[in-house]
């Protein structure tokens, strides 16, 4: 095998590995991601989400950095056991250490309105 062919194959493999890593929101091939959740400010009510839908604080929706739009996830607070099912329809959060941004209704269901953030586990349902 010549040097150009090896270089091409190595480059293709590198691109494939990067693409697979970039699209995998969950580590170690699990369906659970752990981190911190936050929720949207009221000022985003009615604004367009990345999926093109108008944001609704009363819908059970969320933003995630990489999960496909339309993905359903279960968000659980391990410290209280409270949980809520949400639909991913936006991108974010854009704050280091946060893994999901919830609508106000979802945050209320998790009992996190006063704190603004809470530790969570996000489990894929689809």
User: What CATH number does residue 92 fall under?
Assistant: 2.40.40.10
Domain count for the chain: 1
The reply to whether 105 falls in a domain is yes
pLDDT at 92 over 60: yes
pLDDT of residue 65: 96
Mean per-residue pLDDT for 55-79? 97
The reply to whether 76 falls in a domain is yes
The reply to whether 69 falls in a domain is yes
Do the strands 117-124 and 72-76 form a parallel or antiparallel pair, or are they unpaired?
A: antiparallel
Segments forming the whole domain that contains residue 71:
28-124
The reply to whether 50 falls in a domain is yes
The reply to whether 5 falls in a domain is no
pLDDT at 78 over 60: yes
DSSP state string for 20-79 = HHHH--SGGG-SEEEEEEEE--GGGTTPBPTTSPBP-TTS-EEE-SSSPTT-EEEEE-TT
The reply to whether 33 falls in a domain is yes
Mean per-residue pLDDT for 70-80? 97
The reply to whether 10 falls in a domain is no
pLDDT at 113 over 60: yes
The reply to whether 92 falls in a domain is yes
CA–CA dist 39, 111 (Å, integer) = 11
Mean per-residue pLDDT for 33-61? 96
pLDDT of residue 4: 52
Average pLDDT, the chain: 84
């Amino acid at each position: 095998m010549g040097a150009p062919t090896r270089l091409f194959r190595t480059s293709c493999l590198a691109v494939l590995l990067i693409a697979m890593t970039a699209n995998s929101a969950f580590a170690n091939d699990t369906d659970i991601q752990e981190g911190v959740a936050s929720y949207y400010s009221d000022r985003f009510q009615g604004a367009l989400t990345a999926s093109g839908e108008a944001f609704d604080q009363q819908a059970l929706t969320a933003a995630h950095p990489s999960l496909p739009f339309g993905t359903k996830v279960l968000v659980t607070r391990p410290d209280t056991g409270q949980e809520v099912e949400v639909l991913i329809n936006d991108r974010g959060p854009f704050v280091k250490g946060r893994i999901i941004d919830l609508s106000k209704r979802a945050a209320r269901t998790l009992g996190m309105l006063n704190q603004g953030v809470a530790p969570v586990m996000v489990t894929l349902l689809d």
